[in-house]
Amino acid sequence: MPVKAPVEKAAKRAVVIAVGAGKGGTGKTTFSINLGVALAEMGRRTILMDADASMSNLSTYMGIEPHTLKTTLHEVLAGEAEPDKAVYKAFNDNLRVVPSGLSIEGFLKMDRSLLKDVIEYFSRDADFIVIDTPAGYNKELALSLAASDHLILVLNPDEGSMTDGLKVQEMARILDVNILGIVLNRYDMKNPFFSRSQVEAHFGSPVIAMLPEEPGVRRKDKVPSVLAAPSSRMAAEVYHVAELLAGQKAPSESTSFVSRLMLALFNTAAI
Ligand SMILES: Nc1ncnc2c1ncn2[C@@H]1O[C@H](COP(=O)(O)OP(=O)(O)OP(=O)(O)O)[C@@H](O)[C@H]1O
Ligand SMILES: [Mg+2]
């Protein structure tokens, strides 16, 4: 079997987290926004980047009006704008958002291969970068992972999510990205195919959050759950992941064996 050379990663200050799934609609964007806001609320300088360059909706979810987006990741990847021009503020002074554009023209002109360089550029001046990756098994996902330290899989307890998520986890492993864990979103959906322990056994990775089916997860005023409903289960679970990343929380007693093993191997306090 050929030995794969480890991927070289440039020295950087920010911890880069790719949020992925493979399958569409599992809640990647919703979770990315809430995690980014939670980290910012904890005082961490956080960049939330929309790497879903073809079907971007992160900024729309956050209530950023499309007409205010003069410069986006599209222009940066087209070599037409400095990365700093594609940065917008939202909800908290510690949070900066790098949206993708909505136009087909912008999508066509970008050079995806610059994505890794752009992520590395931003990582010089932030504590965390949270990358919302696209559905599918594609170049934006691979380039995002190649620049990331950790992958968080956002999965639903259904068969499609399990199959696609495994592919993304495998890609991350090939690219030498740590699998931080799985966020099991909508775990209480009707007739779930998999329980938490089945998911952990299937992936060999810990479930680090369980997000309930939450009809109010997207509000008309676009305020994310961690701010709009800070005492909700959703907010508590998202903060749990943020605290793991920030090294403020040890794994709980109830954490499964796989979780404890993974967390012991990966010392979060050292990030
Ligand atoms: N826990 C939840 N409870 C109820 N609805 C949810 C939950 N999480 C996400 N949703 C809804 O599911 C839909 C898909 O969520 P989202 O856009 O975050 O997924 P995604 O994985 O980013 O999708 P895509 O693959 O298209 O980028 C949205 O309408 C969102 O509001
Ligand atoms: Mg999305």
Is residue 72 within 8 Å of 86, Cβ to Cβ?
Answer: yes
The answer to whether position 177 is within a domain reads: yes
Q: pLDDT at position 253, please?
A: 41
Amino acid identity at 181: G
Find out whether the beta carbon of 161 lies less than 6 Å from any atom of ligand 1.
Answer: no
The answer to whether position 7 is within a domain reads: no
Name the residue of 29, 34, 60, 130 whose CB sits within 8 Å of the most ligand 1 atoms, as the mutation to test its pocket: 29
Sign of CA dihedral 52, 54, 59, 63: negative
Indicate the number of domains in the chain.
1
Is residue 126 within 8 Å of 14, Cβ to Cβ?
Answer: yes
Q: pLDDT at position 3, please?
A: 44
Which residue minimizes the CA distance to atom 10 of ligand 1?
27
Find out whether the beta carbon of 216 lies less than 6 Å from any atom of ligand 1.
Answer: no
Which residues pair with residue 95 across a beta bridge? 46
- Whole-number Å distance between alpha carbons of 213 and 4: 40
The answer to whether position 50 is within a domain reads: yes
Find out whether the beta carbon of 26 lies less than 6 Å from any atom of ligand 1.
Answer: yes
Q: pLDDT at position 255, please?
A: 46
Q: Crossing angle of helices 196-203/159-174, nearest 10°?
A: 40
**213 is in which domain, residue-wise?**
15-270
Q: Which atom of ligand 1 is nearest to the CA of 185?
A: 1
For the domain that residue 221 is a member of, what is the CATH number? 3.40.50.300
Count Cβ atoms within 10 A of the Cβ of residue 81 and give its class: 0-12 exposed, 13-18 middle, 19 or more buried.
Answer: middle
Is residue 3 within 8 Å of 54, Cβ to Cβ?
Answer: no
The answer to whether position 2 is within a domain reads: no
Find out whether the beta carbon of 25 lies less than 6 Å from any atom of ligand 1.
Answer: yes
Give the environment of ion ligand 2: residues with CB less than 5 A. 28-29
The answer to whether position 108 is within a domain reads: yes
Which residue minimizes the CA distance to atom 23 of ligand 1?
25
**Span between the terminal Cα atoms of the chain, in Å:** 33
- Whole-number Å distance between alpha carbons of 148 and 7: 11
Is residue 44 within 8 Å of 95, Cβ to Cβ?
Answer: no
Q: pLDDT at position 164, please?
A: 96
The answer to whether position 4 is within a domain reads: no
Find out whether the beta carbon of 160 lies less than 6 Å from any atom of ligand 1.
Answer: no
Structure tokens at 156: 């639903």
From the list 70, 82, 64, 171, the residue with the least C-alpha distance to 118 is: 82
Find out whether the beta carbon of 233 lies less than 6 Å from any atom of ligand 1.
Answer: no
The answer to whether position 231 is within a domain reads: yes
Name the residue of 30, 49, 137 whose CB sits within 8 Å of the most ligand 1 atoms, as the mutation to test its pocket: 30
The answer to whether position 8 is within a domain reads: no
Q: Which residues of the chain have pLDDT under 50?
A: 1-8, 251-271
pLDDT tens, residue by residue, 165-197 = 999 999 999 999 999 999 999 998 777 778 899
